[in-house]
Amino acid sequence: MIQLIRGFKDILPGEVELWQEIERVARQLFDDFGFKEIRIPIMERTELFKRSIGEDTDIVEKEMYTFPDRKGDLITLRPEATASIVRAYIQHKLFAKDPVQKFFLLGPMFRRERPQKGRYRQFYQIDAEIFGVTSPLVDVQLILMLVTLFDRLQVPDISAHINTLGCPKCRPGFKSALQDMLMSVSDKLCSDCVRRRDRNPLRVLDCKVPACREALEGAPSLLDHLCSECRDDFAEVRNSLDKLKVPYVIDKHLVRGLDYYARTTFEIQTGSLGAQSAVAGGGRYDGLVKELGGPQIPATGFAIGFDRLAEISGLKPSDFERKPDIFVAALGEKSQTLAFEWSCRLGLIGISTEMDFSDKSLKSQMKRADRLGAAYVLILGDKELEEGTAPLRNMATKEQVSLPIDGMVDKIEETLRP
């Protein structure tokens, strides 16, 4: 038997209802905050991700699904959505009418990481991006939206971690202080970190190898190297979070795994997913639109790991599962023909109806109705056809009413929707 690919998964009925509910709640929140949906391809030119996420990141170095198409052009299954949304924003000149644009996107992403709980090779993100606003208040709004969404989805045990990565003005000073420190612990670092130390030292802070993490405990903090604008900017973020009563922790190690960030970065972390503590991450990327060929327009955003969110939400799929409104237990050919006609007509008016097509016994049909959780069962056999009425049983109260076969669909509608 052919099995699915390692690190990929099916989301089956019984689980998918929770995904639908999460999607519904997220869409409502985006709508309330003025975000518009954007849909973009799942493949892009490899160059787009290299230039935006950064050549020295784990994603670009090790995790992308990249292959030549038939003409030899290198294409990549998107490992995240931000780069593509920026590409679309520039390509369609979405800034021309109004540079301020807010987008959200739901969809699959692909990273060839080592699969484990909460980490998949095809996973889903709920992504949000805001273009054209310099004020750090929109970063705060994004964090507020995340915390609100997690609250509405009954996610326990989460905390918002925030940090700032400075700007092109203050980061070089920090980088050289960090490089000096990294030189002194070089013998304790993994080979990736030694290589990244010279090219992109911030990436070293993001290394997941335990020995590297230990060696980096005394690393300098960007918070001590901020220029006055970045310091004020970060203070405004904190003040505004305080005002909105959003709890947070300042996490100076939060450098994020992508190169495009500057200033505010944040993650929503959870204690319930083992090693995969980040359920959502994001931050400001003021330089990326220009870097990818557009005008100098600031931007900020986040992405939630949908799979992780579904795993830790306190909501249960069964709370959102649609059960049949009515099961028609039909016995004999004539009854079945009639039941089929009714079930089609009931379906068309939004009354979900199931029936049995194989002429099973009444007992086994009743069992199936019970298993499906049907709210009502209508019994239709030769006797009922002769008498011109059929019993409709409320499965919860066990009450039974007799309905005329003539005009049955209308009668069922009246009974179910008084």
Cα–Cα distance, 352 to 138 (Å, whole number): 44
CB 282, min distance to ligand HAM, A:
4
- Cα torsion angle, 128, 130, 131, 135, sign: negative
- Is residue 57 close enough to count as binding ligand HAM by CB under 6 A? no
The identity of residue 380, as a single letter, is L
Cα–Cα distance, 137 to 233 (Å, whole number): 9
Q: Which of 50, 308, 393, 411 binds ligand HAM (CB under 6 A)?
A: 308
- Is residue 78 close enough to count as binding ligand HAM by CB under 6 A? no
CB 280, min distance to ligand HAM, A:
5
- Is residue 111 close enough to count as binding ligand HAM by CB under 6 A? yes
- Is residue 287 close enough to count as binding ligand HAM by CB under 6 A? no
- Is residue 201 close enough to count as binding ligand HAM by CB under 6 A? no
Interface stretch with ligand HAM, choices 117-125, 162-170, 237-245, 289-297 (CB under 6 A): 117-125
Q: Which of 19, 35, 150, 302 binds ligand HAM (CB under 6 A)?
A: 302
CB 265, min distance to ligand HAM, A:
8
Phi, psi of 149 (to 5 degrees): -60, -45
The identity of residue 186, as a single letter, is S
User: What are the structure tokens assigned to 63, written together?
Assistant: 């995790």
Tokens 């009354």 sit on residue: 351
**Window 249 to 268, contacts with ligand HAM (CB under 6 A):** 257-258
Cα–Cα distance, 286 to 25 (Å, whole number): 29
Q: Which of 77, 158, 216, 279 binds ligand HAM (CB under 6 A)?
A: 279
CB neighbours of 418 closer than 8 A, spacing ≥ 6? Answer: none
Please name the helix (run of DSSP H) or strand (run of DSSP E) that holds residue 281, with its range, or none. strand 278-284
**Window 123 to 152, contacts with ligand HAM (CB under 6 A):** 123, 125, 127, 129
**How many chain residues are in contact with ligand HAM, going by CB under 6 A?**
27
Q: Which of 307, 325, 354, 384 binds ligand HAM (CB under 6 A)?
A: 307
What is the separation of C-alpha 51 from the centre of its chain, rounded to a whole number of angstroms?
24
Q: How many CA atoms lie within 13 A of 111 on its CB side?
A: 24
Nearer to ligand HAM, 63 or 354 (CB): 63
Nearer to ligand HAM, 294 or 301 (CB): 301
DSSP string, 226-263: --HHHHHHHHHHHHHHHHTT---EE-TT---S-TT--S
Nearest-10 Cα torsion for 181, 187, 188, 194 = 70
What DSSP designation does 119 have? B
First to last CA, the chain: 51
Nearer to ligand HAM, 281 or 317 (CB): 281
- Is residue 336 close enough to count as binding ligand HAM by CB under 6 A? no
- Is residue 301 close enough to count as binding ligand HAM by CB under 6 A? yes
Q: Which of 87, 119, 171, 197 binds ligand HAM (CB under 6 A)?
A: 119
- Is residue 113 close enough to count as binding ligand HAM by CB under 6 A? yes
CB neighbours of 163 closer than 8 A, spacing ≥ 6? Answer: 222, 223, 250, 251, 252, 253, 254, 255, 264, 265, 266
CB 288, min distance to ligand HAM, A:
9
Q: What is the pairing mode between strands 353-355 and 326-330?
A: parallel
Tokens 């092109």 sit on residue: 168
CB 82, min distance to ligand HAM, A:
4
With beta carbons less than 8 A apart as the criterion, state whether 57 and 203 touch.
Answer: yes
Q: Which of 54, 136, 166, 282 binds ligand HAM (CB under 6 A)?
A: 282
Nearer to ligand HAM, 111 or 411 (CB): 111
- Is residue 54 close enough to count as binding ligand HAM by CB under 6 A? no
Nearer to ligand HAM, 303 or 377 (CB): 303
| Contact residues: ligand HAM, CB under 6 A | 80-82, 111, 113, 118-120, 123, 125, 127, 129, 257-258, 278-283, 285, 301-303, 305, 307-308
